[in-house]
Amino acid sequence: MILIEGGRAVSPKNGLDGIYHILLDGDKVVKVSEDFITDLPEGTTVLDASGKLVLPGLIDMHVHFRDPGQTHKEDIYTGCAAAAAGGVTSVACMPNTAPPVDSPELVRYILDRAETAKARVYPVACVTEGMKGETVTDMAALKAAGAVAFSDDGRPVKNARVMMEGMWHAERVGRKVLSHCEDLDIINGGIMHKGDVSRTLGVPGMDRASEDSVTAREICLADSAGTPVHICHVSTRGAVDLIRHAKQRGIRVTCETAPHYFILDHEKLLGRDADYRMNPPLREQKDIRAVLGGIIDGTIDCIVTDHAPHAAEEKADFLKAPNGVVGLETSFAACYTYLVKKGVVSLRRLVELMSENPARLLGIPGGSIEEGGPADIMIADPEEKWTVDPAKLHSRSKNTVFKGMTFQGKVKMTICRGEIVYDSENDKG
């Protein structure tokens, strides 16, 4: 057993916000009490959480673990170690591996590998076979194997008819399609946001119209088919506005964003450092304001990382480097610093964005601290300040946009399935 004593527990789903004592037995929460819990069995681990935050384990519904096929960048074990260090107890892995996750065998491979990892791993399977955008996968078989959603993330499904068919099949099996909204013809080789900085650097840019146009298409398809759709990594003011208006019309659309889209802008690229290149790209201050507005008013449902590891040698060439950044170990601190400490949202709202809502959207356990619920909990020090050192990250890759930045809010301990999987006091990362 593990007893977490005297921390500020916040769990919006069941109205928890105060000083509580929480008893874990195996992989379940067995008691949540405002009173001290006594008569504990011998051998119970007692954790003093005084002055700390005790939150449901974070759920990141958009990560890339590169396993199978590109494990020099990351694998399930290193990815889950990074998750644990960031207070993340559950992740949904995107299927753009090598080969893509378009078969029940690959779904089971991921689940088998994850059994002994430091976080729960939920596979997302492909919308189309081989991510080629031509033929919809056997979604019933993929769901039966353990897929929690469908996406061709990393590429858009170019053909609208195929995408609509995929959304319809996903609805039939009780799963959602997670859409990577990008028009590759509009991108036309762009490597960063199209604007003053790209023109200064003399490099091709990614026009906002790429994201906005496909976001509009997905909303239209969902409206016509009567199905849900989830929009991945929203970065533009246009996409936020489109999703807000669609929700007002009753269309079943949800969406996510990532910390870098409301903290950093395209001026970080002036140094020609490919660690600041991701897809969609860092945009402008007006986009940052729009994303923050969407977080505040509920247009944006979740905050994810889009954790996308790449080896240092791959990121060495600014023009040729692959897009993507790591983020699992910095997401809570970045959000706590830039959203809660700055008064943009409450801690309660942050827990909804980073834990409760992802659990609900994916239909997976977690997202709350309640008796009978999973023993997935993070403990954080809300006052501790720390500086991001890429060398100390647990991910196999170190391509973080937050390198050298100082945050407030440090994950001190992560408990997953009732086991302590990260303890900052013993961290040699």
Q: Tell me: the pLDDT tens digits for 351-392?
A: 999 999 999 999 999 999 999 999 999 999 999 999 999 999
Domain membership of residue 30 (yes or no) is yes
Residues facing 374 on adjacent strands: 28
Number of domains composing the chain: 2
pLDDT tens-digit profile of 62-111? Answer: 999 999 999 999 999 999 999 999 999 999 999 999 999 999 999 999 99
Residue 27 confidence (pLDDT): 97
Give the C-alpha separation, 74 to 397, whole Å: 7
Amino acid in position 348: R
Residue 119 confidence (pLDDT): 98
- Rg (the chain; Cα; Å): 21
Residues 200 and 180 both lie in one domain:
yes
Residues 270 and 393 both lie in one domain:
no
Q: Which residues in the chain land under pLDDT 70?
A: 429
Q: Yes or no: say if 107 and 142 are a contact pair by the CB < 8 Å rule.
A: yes
Tokens of 181: 């909204």
Domain membership of residue 229 (yes or no) is yes
Residue finishing a domain among 306, 334, 362: 362
Residue 355 confidence (pLDDT): 98
Burial bucket for residue 12 (CB in 10 Å: 0-12, 13-18, 19+): buried
Q: Yes or no: say if 92 and 122 are a contact pair by the CB < 8 Å rule.
A: yes
Residues 33 and 71 both lie in one domain:
no
Residue 427 confidence (pLDDT): 87
pTM of the model: 0.97
Q: Yes or no: say if 157 and 165 are a contact pair by the CB < 8 Å rule.
A: no
Residues 159 and 275 both lie in one domain:
yes
Residue finishing a domain among 311, 340, 362: 362
Quick one: how far is CA 333 from the chain centroid?
A: 14
Angle between the N-to-C axes of helices 237-248 and 285-297, in degrees from 0 to 180, rounded to the nearest 10:
30
Length of the chain counted residue by residue: 429
Residues 176 and 65 both lie in one domain:
yes
Domain membership of residue 6 (yes or no) is yes
Identify the three-state secondary structure at position 228: coil
Residue 128 confidence (pLDDT): 98
Of 152, 207, 275, 306, catalytic: 306
Residue 256 confidence (pLDDT): 98
Q: Which residues contact 298 (CB under 8 A, 6 or more apart)?
A: none
Q: Residue written as tokens 């028009």?
A: 183
> Can you give the residue range of the structural domain that contains 64?
57-362
Residues 124 and 157 both lie in one domain:
yes
Residues 335 and 395 both lie in one domain:
no
Residue finishing a domain among 328, 362, 396: 362
Give the C-alpha separation, 122 to 104, whole Å: 13
Residues 72 and 209 both lie in one domain:
yes
DSSP state of 300: -
Domain membership of residue 123 (yes or no) is yes
Give the C-alpha separation, 261 to 239, whole Å: 13
Cis bond before residue 280 (omega within 30° of 0): yes
Domain membership of residue 367 (yes or no) is no
Domain membership of residue 396 (yes or no) is yes
Q: Which stretches within 298-429 are classed as H helix?
A: 331-335, 347-351, 357-362
Residues 71 and 146 both lie in one domain:
yes
Residue 62 confidence (pLDDT): 98
User: Buried b / exposed e across 343-370, counting CB within 10 Å, b at 16+?
Assistant: ebbebbbbbbbbbbbbbbbbebebbbbb
Residues 118 and 169 both lie in one domain:
yes
CATH code of residue 408:
2.30.40.10
Domain membership of residue 119 (yes or no) is yes
Residues 380 and 253 both lie in one domain:
no
Domain membership of residue 368 (yes or no) is no
CATH code of residue 195:
3.20.20.140
Is residue 306 flagged as an active site residue?
A: yes
Q: Yes or no: say if 143 and 170 are a contact pair by the CB < 8 Å rule.
A: no
Residues 70 and 44 both lie in one domain:
no
